[in-house]
Amino acid sequence: MDFVQLVIEWIIVFGINIIPAFAPPTWVVLAYFYIAHPQNLLLLILIGVTASTTGRYVLAISSRKVFTKFASEEKKEEMELIRNKLRKGTVKKFLFSMLFSLGPFPSNSLFIAVGTTRIRITEILAGFFVGRTISYLFLVFTSEKIYTSLEAAITGSASIGTLIIEIIGVIALLAFFLFDWKKLLLKDELSKKPKRRFEYAPK
């Protein structure tokens, strides 16, 4: 594998993870890399996770002042729900971050929430790293299998096994994205009405 290509992939993933909004999902970019330029899957996932974790750390530390000026009230409410979860103990913060990163949530909201308070970020980064490693591996691998199966079906070279793999892959992706992750992770906070205005770290 060309070292320069690996570096370029790392930089691209890092770049889209320091953007607070409107960036494509990292797993989609990684899936494109894997399909367009076949390479070692585990190495690609390592590149993706290290670059996205680093990018999100930069987003967290740079969002402290920017978010309070430009965020909508709806987004502030979402941040407050996440912050309530992150005020727990070390293990709970790690587990919440890991579960959050396993789901299809854009992780920008998680790190902006961390950036707008004085919560220690170490456990959040560790949980994010583990969660994204698992989800990227699943999503990139499944996407490539679906693409390969679909390509075989179009060219007429698909076997029954290939079609079964495609159907299983599509069902797995649908289940992943249709599952109510927010209800699982934020059900306690969603049941409570905020009794105070939002508090942010001093500028």
DSSP code string of 121-185: -HHHHHHHHHHHHHHHHHHHHHHHHHHHHHHHHHHT---HHHHHHHHHHHHHHHHHHHS-HHHHH
Residues of the chain with pLDDT > 90: what percent? 32
Please give the Cα distance from 90 to 122 (Å, whole number).
9
- Domain regions of the chain by residue span: 3-187
Fill in the DSSP letter of residue 117: S
Task: Report, as an integer, the average pLDDT of 9-26.
Answer: 91
Please give the Cα distance from 201 to 9 (Å, whole number).
34
* Token pair of 88 as six digits: 């727990």
pLDDT at 41: 95
What is the number of other CB atoms lying within 10 angstroms of the CB of residue 160?
A: 7
pLDDT at 202: 37
Task: Report, as an integer, the average pLDDT of 78-91.
Answer: 74
**pLDDT one-digit tens code per residue, 141-192:** 988 988 887 777 777 665 666 556 556 656 665 565 555 555 655 555 445 5
**pLDDT one-digit tens code per residue, 45-78:** 999 999 999 999 998 888 766 665 556 666 667 6
pLDDT confidence tier of residue 32, bands split at 50, 70 and 90: very high
Please give the Cα distance from 15 to 36 (Å, whole number).
20
pLDDT confidence tier of residue 201, bands split at 50, 70 and 90: very low
pLDDT at 22: 81
pLDDT at 196: 46
